[in-house]
Amino acid sequence: MRDREFRQQDRSTARRWTSRVAAFVCVLMSAATGLALIETDEWWIRVLDFPRLQIAALLAVALIVYWLTQRGKAGTLFVVTAMSIVSLVWQVWMILPYTAVWKIQMIATDACTADQRVRFLMANVLQENRNSESLLQLAEQTDPDIILLTEIDEWWVGEIERLADSHPQTILEPLSNTYGIGLYSRLPLIDGEIRYILEDDIPSIFTRIALPSGEEFSLWAVHPSPPRPDDDTDERDAELLIVAKEASEASSPAIVAGDLNDVAWSSTTTLFQEISGLLDPRIGRGLYASFNADWPLMKWPLDHLFASEEWTLGEFRRLEDIGSDHYPILVELCHEPAAAAVQQADQPDEGDFEEAEEHIEEGRDAANE
């Protein structure tokens, strides 16, 4: 009898502690959800934009466990349940556009002639990665017209030198600070340049590119810094919004691509889309999480390509691991000017322009400090 009582006490204690841990996780994830709503450039808040899917999953599991084990006051049950459900709904709502249940933003092409088609291979190679052969093999297999690489240094440029045999048009800025960037193209590059938009150690690329048809488009390739200790997001946000303004004013079809160090659903990327008028091929299709290739449960989309309304989508694919912490992304676009009449990006209002200008000024101030 005494053993049975001990076992019942043990089960009761285990249930009580399980309930407490589940409640703590619910409260913690709800707090993270609320903090992410704060309009701030502080890095430790902005990183909470990234793991929305993971927060939603933790909330769902913790809430179910809490319901199954809670034996306390009804008031506590109501408060924990209410905040958890509200937070869970919000997190799901934020990532829902990047699932197949949402309306596609960039339509798929029905047929595309070779002279209007362009294929991009984007890869953050991870500067310390020494598996250059995997990248070369991938480039051969996917047959891209344009290869955009980030985190390249002099070692990488030397190791992938043979890319220039098939893609002789190049713009290269190898650096040892993980912000090196390079463009390899078999299409003509026109007036290409390396630009340091805000920070003197973080380059980007701007160039016009001629399609086989003879028509031109403008490409911005970017890789701003991520949110991390001692590095808030003011400069990252400002750089992206400066590019957004330039893309919106371009006289030719526009494409912005690269490792944005920001997720598709963040307020910054959403504002970037509204100001630029560019389309996101992920919307209505999937997350296509490109980072982190090393962490099975912690993945989110950091590598992006946005295009103006004259483009339709032929292919969007996350490729296999090449030894980096990012997966490469393959995107095929078709230049179809008539598509602009049937697809439209989100339209900015006056408040969006004012917010963008505020971010840009804050970023410039931070860069000058």
Q: How many CB atoms lie within 10 A of CB 230?
A: 5
Looking at residue 15, what is its pLDDT?
79
Does one domain contain both 74 and 147? no
User: Which residues touch 155 (CB under 8 Å, ≥6 apart)?
Assistant: none
* Residue 104, in any domain of the structure: no
Spatial CB neighbours of 137, under 8 Å, sequence gap ≥ 6: none
Range of the domain at 203: 114-368
Same domain, yes or no, for 240 and 300? yes
How far is the C-alpha of 243 from the C-alpha of 198, rounded, in Å? 11
d(CA 216, CA 210): 4
Please say whether the beta carbons of 263 and 301 come within 8 A.
yes
d(CA 169, CA 191): 12
* 78 and 165 part of one domain: no
CATH number where 216 lies: 3.60.10.10
Do residue 85 and residue 121 come from a single domain? no
Give per-residue pLDDT as tens, 328-363.
Answer: 999 999 999 999 999 988 889 999 999 999 999 999
Q: Are residues 94 and 121 in the same domain?
A: no
The segments of the chain whose pLDDT lies below 70 read: 1-12, 71-72
Q: How many residues does the chain have?
A: 369
> CA-CA distance, 115 to 106, in Å (whole number)?
20
Six token digits for residue 111? 């047929």
Closest CA to 309 of 238, 258, 250: 250
148 shares a domain with 64: no
**What's the pLDDT at 63?**
96
Helices 234-248/267-276 angle, 10° precision: 20
Distances (CA, A) of 267 to 59, 99, 193, 301, 305: 22, 18, 29, 14, 17
Note the pLDDT of residue 17: 85
pLDDT at site 13: 72
Contact 261, 255 (CB under 8 A): no
- Could you tell me if 128 and 64 lie in one domain? no
Residue 107 in domain: no
Closest CA to 117 of 341, 317, 336, 281: 336
Is-contact 30 55, C-beta < 8 A?
no
Neighbours of 344 (CB within 10 A): 11
Burial (Cβ within 10 Å: 0-12, 13-18, ≥19) of residue 268 = buried
In a domain? residue 108: no
List Cα–Cα distances, 197 to 144, 202, 300, in angstroms: 27, 8, 26
Query: How many domains, in total, are found in the chain?
Result: 2
The residue among 41, 67, 98 that closes a domain is 98
Query: Is the distance from CB of 193 to CB of 206 less than 8 angstroms?
Result: yes
Strands 204-210 and 189-195: antiparallel
Write out pLDDT tens, residues 299-329: 999 999 999 999 999 999 999 999 999 999 9
Name the nearest CA neighbour of 124 among 199, 179, 202: 179
Query: What's residue 73's pLDDT?
Result: 74
**Residue 79 burial by Cβ neighbours in a 10 Å radius (0-12, 13-18, 19+):** middle
Region of 196 on the Ramachandran plot (φ > 0 left; ψ -120 to 50 alpha; else beta): beta
Residue finishing a domain among 54, 70, 98: 98
Does 326 reside within a domain? yes
Rounded distance, CA 156 to CA 77, Å? Answer: 56
For 212, the token pair is 């086989």
Q: In this structure, are 81 and 166 located in the same domain?
A: no
Which amino acid, one-letter code, is at 267? S
Question: How crowded is residue 342: how many other Cβ atoms within 10 Å of its Cβ?
Answer: 10
**Residue 362 falls within a domain, yes or no?**
yes
Q: Is residue 71 part of a domain?
A: yes
